[in-house]
Chain A
Amino acid sequence: GEKVEQHESTLSVREGDSAVINCTYTDTASSYFPWYKQEAGKSLHFVIDIRSNVDRKQSQRLIVLLDKKAKRFSLHITATQPEDSAIYFCAASNSGSWQLIFGSGTQLTVMP
C-alpha cells in the first residue's frame, strides 16, 4: 500500500527565514496531497493542499510544490513567524480513495 515518508522530523529556522518540509510517496496513483498543522496541545487543522493536475500552489506565505516524476512534494513557508511553530503533517490519497495516508510529522520551531 501507499507509504508517505516525511524526511525531516525536526526543523529549526530563524524568524523571517523560509522553512521547507519534504515528503515522498510510493503510489504513482496518488493524486491528492494535503498538509495539516498541529499546534502544541491542539488537534490538526488543514493548511493547504495540491492535486496532481498542477505542480505548484500558493496560499499567502505557504507554497506547495509537487514533482510527480520524483514522487515528491514539499511545503515552503516563507517569512516565518513564531506562530508557525507546530508539527506539520503531509498526507497523500488516491482519487476516490477513503484513506488518507499521513507522514510521521515535522516539528517546526521558529526562533526569534
Chain B
Amino acid sequence: GGIITQTPKFLIGQEGQKLTLKCQQNFNHDTMYWYRQDSGKGLRLIYYSITENDLQKGDLSEGYDASREKKSSFSLTVTSAQKNEMAVFLCASSPWGGADTGQLYFGEGSKLTVL
C-alpha cells in the first residue's frame, strides 16, 4: 500500500501572505489533485496534474498556483491569503487516466486559517 502525506497539517497565515502546501505520494501514481473543502460545500477542484511538469486548472484555480516538479510531489501556493479565510485543502492521487478510471486516494488534509 501507499500513502499520501500533506504538510503542514495546520497553517496559520496573515492576510496577503503567500502560503505553500506540499503533498507527497508513494503510490507511483501519475495523476495528482488539489481540492478545497469548505464546510457545507463539498470539495472543489483547484488544480490537477496528469504527469510530472503538467498543470491543469480546475474550477477554483483563481488565487492559487501549483507546481509538479516530480512525479511524487505536488505543491499548491495560495498567492495572497484572504482575511478570515478558513478551509481544508486535500491532496489526492489516482493511478492514471481520467477521474472515471478508478478511485482517488486522499491525504489527511491541510487546514488553513488566515488571521
Interface size class on chain A is 20 to 34
Question: Which among B45, B103, B109 is the interface contact of A49 at CB below 8 angstroms?
Answer: B103
Check: A74 CB closer than 8 A to any chain B CB.
no
Contacts of B43 in A (CB 8 A): 44, 89, 102
Question: Which among B31, B50, B100 is the interface contact of A94 at CB below 8 angstroms?
Answer: B100
Contact residues, B100-115 vs A (CB, 8 A)? 100, 103-109
User: A42 near B45 (CB under 8 angstroms)?
Assistant: no
Question: Which among A46, A89, A93 is the interface contact of B98 at CB below 8 angstroms?
Answer: A93
Check: B26 CB closer than 8 A to any chain A CB.
no
Check: A112 CB closer than 8 A to any chain B CB.
no
Contacts A42-B108, A46-B103; is A98 near B50 (CB within 8 Å)? yes
User: A43 near B104 (CB under 8 angstroms)?
Assistant: no
Contacts of A34 in B (CB 8 A): 103
- The answer for the CA separation of A40 and B35 in the assembled complex, in Å, is 18
- The answer for the CA separation of A89 and B103 in the assembled complex, in Å, is 13
A-B contact pairs, 26 of them (CB 8 A): A1-B59, A31-B100, A32-B99, A42-B108, A43-B107, A43-B109, A45-B105, A45-B106, A46-B105, A49-B103, A51-B100, A89-B42, A94-B100, A95-B98, A95-B100, A97-B98, A98-B98, A99-B45, A99-B99, A100-B45, A100-B104, A102-B42, A102-B43, A104-B41, A104-B42, A105-B40
A sample of 19 more A-B contacts (CB under 8 A), given A9-B40, A102-B42, is A42-B108, A43-B90, A43-B109, A44-B92, A44-B106, A45-B106, A46-B103, A89-B42, A93-B100, A98-B48, A98-B56, A99-B45, A99-B58, A100-B99, A102-B35, A102-B43, A104-B40, A104-B42, A105-B40
